[in-house]
Amino acid sequence: MAVAGAAALACPSVFKHGWLTKEGSFIKNWKRRYFYLWTDGKLKYFAQAAASQLGEIDLLNATVAYTGPPKVTGKSFALEIVTPGRTLLVCAENANDCKAYVSRCYHFGCGSKTARSELTGGFVRVLL
């Protein structure tokens, strides 16, 4: 297992990819972005799948948090990714994608090792 993990860090590959809607950092509007989650724990996003990279989050130093009820974000299937330098708010297109991103984030050690997620009313709540 340690060899596979070291190989993934040395030569990362795409673990999951797809569209998420991201809240802007400065102007709080929502934009659809194409995200790639890499086996080295990097989450990179682009305006389109084959466009220039717009940003990157290191999930090895991040946690995933429940965003609250719909009236808080105005979006369904919302995730909050908290890093030491910033907080990223993203929304998946459906419940399955939302759960998949949460489980893959925990694969990289985001949050507690005993954490589990549950889908409640269109939102992912992460229980730490």
What does the pLDDT look like over 44-81, one tens digit per residue?
999 988 889 999 988 887 877 656 555 556 777 888 88
* pLDDT for the residue 73: 66
Domain with 66 in it = 2-127
Count of domains observed in the chain: 1
pTM as predicted? 0.73
Rounded Cα distance, 53 and 33, in Å = 10
Rounded Cα distance, 99 and 117, in Å = 8
What does the pLDDT look like over 24-48, one tens digit per residue?
878 788 899 999 988 888 899 999 8
Using CB atoms within 10 Å of the CB of residue 123, give its burial: 0 to 12 exposed, 13 to 18 middle, 19+ buried.
buried
pLDDT at 89 over 80: yes
What does the pLDDT look like over 102-123, one tens digit per residue?
777 766 655 433 334 444 444 4
| Angle at CA of residue 51, ends 49 and 55, nearest 5° | 90
Q: Residue 70: which CATH number?
A: 2.30.29.30
Residue 18 CA: distances (Å) to CA of 100, 111, 121, 128: 11, 23, 22, 26
